Amino acid sequence: MSLLRHTKGGEVHERQSLTVNPAKTCQPVGAMYAALGINKCLPHSHGSQGCCSYHRSTLSRHYKEPAMAGTSSFTEGSSVFGGQANLLTAIENMFTLYKPDVIAVHTTCLSETIGDDIPQITENAIDKGIVPEGKFVIHANTPSYVGAHPTGFANMTKAMVDYFAKSTREDKVARRVNIIPGYVEPADMAEIKRLAKLMGLDPIMFPDTSGVLDAPQTGVHEMYPAGGVTIDELVAAGDAQQTLALGPVCSGPAAKALYAKCKVPQTTMGLPIGLAATDKMIMAMRSLNGGFVPEEIKYERGRLLDLMTDMHQYFYGKTVALWGDPDQLVGLSELLMSVDMLPKYVVTGTPGKKFLKRMGDVLGDKVHESFVRQGPCADMYLMHQWIKNEPVDLLMGNTYGKYIARDDDIPYVRHGFPILDRVGHQYFSTVGYKGAIRVLEQILNVLMDRQDRDSPEETFELTM
């Protein structure tokens, strides 16, 4: 039940230091998700067992797959004296028992507060000979009190560049393109790779959770499914012609690090959600392939355009409340604006520069009709207060919105992370032209279901 079930709205009190039902999850969840996108990688949570259980269970509940990971299992002793001994034991045990190629360590609130120096502990592990030849330990600092799951994803993705990418030649390899996909579903990563290959490019995607968190049932347990970017590919990323970073918050830092380290030129753009954003991605790819767009992609684009035209009459003027990750919110808002819907309320608990400006650019002359907030107090409670005062036609966001949907009886499309109460979303892409068709169909279905439900007998129509 939501906190506001029995209230009628009223004055929205400004808060400075209290978050109620945050519109985010914790940093290490994103770091663990990114690490699972490396082939034969075992993520490791340097903190207490409780943290690791939360990270793993959130991922497992969203993807309906086991999210394998280790923990340093902090107790009172490690909280006081530091977690070096625990991490050394963990590294030794994990390489001995589970034989990963990479252990990707992320920190937690506790180990950050203690100030554990992970590179120093890793050096110590190498000196002691407990990191086998040809195996790696990488790390990202992910204190959750200064970030959220998208920043954890960004930090671990940047670590892949810091630890592996190498520039090995004077010239760059033509048509080899690094694609940093952002915090999206495995199906989205597969779809972006498909489009890049159709465009005649040789993509290195990192991280890449397709084939890992949507792997098929074969009857045989695979500790490490076949998917994920390989170490060789991460090394080769340093010789690519270009990096395309999809989403400034999740992908921008790694792309910039790759430029600084290996001088790979980078283009940072929004997630390819909707027609215009996908066009931008395709045109960026076109600038690398000699200037062609294959008929198959033109065909997919045309179908989306046709569908948008057919559906527009039902979308026009509808208002939407959105919550979730900044990169997703900007992309979704652009898609909604393109069919004349208004993102009326938008909140994200994830910090990051330029979100309000990006939203302002997307909203254009509608900016004064919308409420957009970012930060610790931009939470589900604030959004519900706004909705109580002036309802919207649609809710779009992760599972955390279901209480508002039920209490205020508003049509609801689940989108983003985490989705803990439905199954199958990781199999369906929402990026690219095909993905936009799926999102628009989901929206229209809930709006028309609502219309059917509320229609009196005399206006209940077979054809709508």
Complex with ligand SF4: residue 51 or 444, whichever CB lies closer: 51
In the bound complex, what is the minimum distance in angstroms from residue 143's beta carbon to ligand SF4?
Answer: 7
Complex with ligand SF4: residue 152 or 324, whichever CB lies closer: 152
Among the residue ranges 47-55, 353-361, 372-380, 413-421, the one whose residues contact ligand SF4 (CB under 6 A) = 47-55
In the bound complex, what is the minimum distance in angstroms from residue 334's beta carbon to ligand SF4?
Answer: 31
Alpha-carbon separation of residue 109 from 28, 47, 51, 272, 385 (angstroms): 9, 8, 9, 33, 30
Site for ligand SF4 contains 28 (CB under 6 A): yes
Site for ligand SF4 contains 26 (CB under 6 A): yes
Site string for ligand SF4, 175-214 (x = CB under 6 A): ----------------------------------------
In the bound complex, what is the minimum distance in angstroms from residue 28's beta carbon to ligand SF4?
Answer: 5
Say how far apart CA 68 and CA 93 lie, in whole Å: 14
Strands across the sheet containing 136-140: 70-71, 41-46, 102-107, 136-140
- Give the tokens for residue 135: 């195996």
Say how far apart CA 69 and CA 213 lie, in whole Å: 13
SS3 174: strand
Q: Where are the alpha helices (DSSP H) in 128-226?
A: 149-164, 186-198
Site for ligand SF4 contains 403 (CB under 6 A): no
- Give the tokens for residue 191: 């779809």
Strands across the sheet containing 371-374: 371-374, 342-348, 319-323, 394-397, 412-414
Residues 205 and 192: beta-carbon distance below 8 Å: yes
Complex with ligand SF4: residue 72 or 157, whichever CB lies closer: 72
The site for ligand SF4, by CB under 6 A, has a size of: 8
Site string for ligand SF4, 91-120 (x = CB under 6 A): -----------------xx-----------
Say how far apart CA 11 and CA 17 lie, in whole Å: 18
Q: Where are the alpha helices (DSSP H) in 165-294?
A: 186-198, 231-236, 248-262, 275-286
Q: Which of 19, 20, 54, 173 binds ligand SF4 (CB under 6 A)?
A: 54
- Give the tokens for residue 80: 């006081």
In the bound complex, what is the minimum distance in angstroms from residue 452's beta carbon to ligand SF4?
Answer: 42
Complex with ligand SF4: residue 153 or 433, whichever CB lies closer: 153
Complex with ligand SF4: residue 51 or 236, whichever CB lies closer: 51
In the bound complex, what is the minimum distance in angstroms from residue 1's beta carbon to ligand SF4?
Answer: 24
Site for ligand SF4 contains 71 (CB under 6 A): no
In the bound complex, what is the minimum distance in angstroms from residue 54's beta carbon to ligand SF4?
Answer: 4
Residues 243 and 265: beta-carbon distance below 8 Å: yes
Among the residue ranges 46-54, 159-167, 171-179, 212-220, the one whose residues contact ligand SF4 (CB under 6 A) = 46-54
Residues 370 and 322: beta-carbon distance below 8 Å: no
In the bound complex, what is the minimum distance in angstroms from residue 112's beta carbon to ligand SF4?
Answer: 8
Site for ligand SF4 contains 51 (CB under 6 A): yes
Residues 404 and 395: beta-carbon distance below 8 Å: yes
- Among 27, 234, 226, 221, which Cα is nearest to 140's? 27
In the bound complex, what is the minimum distance in angstroms from residue 31's beta carbon to ligand SF4?
Answer: 10
One-letter amino acid of 155: N
Complex with ligand SF4: residue 51 or 87, whichever CB lies closer: 51
In the bound complex, what is the minimum distance in angstroms from residue 78's beta carbon to ligand SF4?
Answer: 14
Complex with ligand SF4: residue 19 or 289, whichever CB lies closer: 19
In the bound complex, what is the minimum distance in angstroms from residue 24's beta carbon to ligand SF4?
Answer: 10
Residue 149 contacts by C-beta under 8 Å, 6 or more apart in sequence?
24, 25, 26, 27, 29, 30, 33, 183, 325, 350, 417
SS3 444: helix
Chain-centroid distance, C-alpha 167? 28
Complex with ligand SF4: residue 108 or 370, whichever CB lies closer: 108
Site string for ligand SF4, 138-157 (x = CB under 6 A): ------x-------------
In the bound complex, what is the minimum distance in angstroms from residue 81's beta carbon to ligand SF4?
Answer: 19
**Interface residues with ligand SF4 (CB under 6 A)?**
26, 28, 47, 51, 54, 108-109, 144
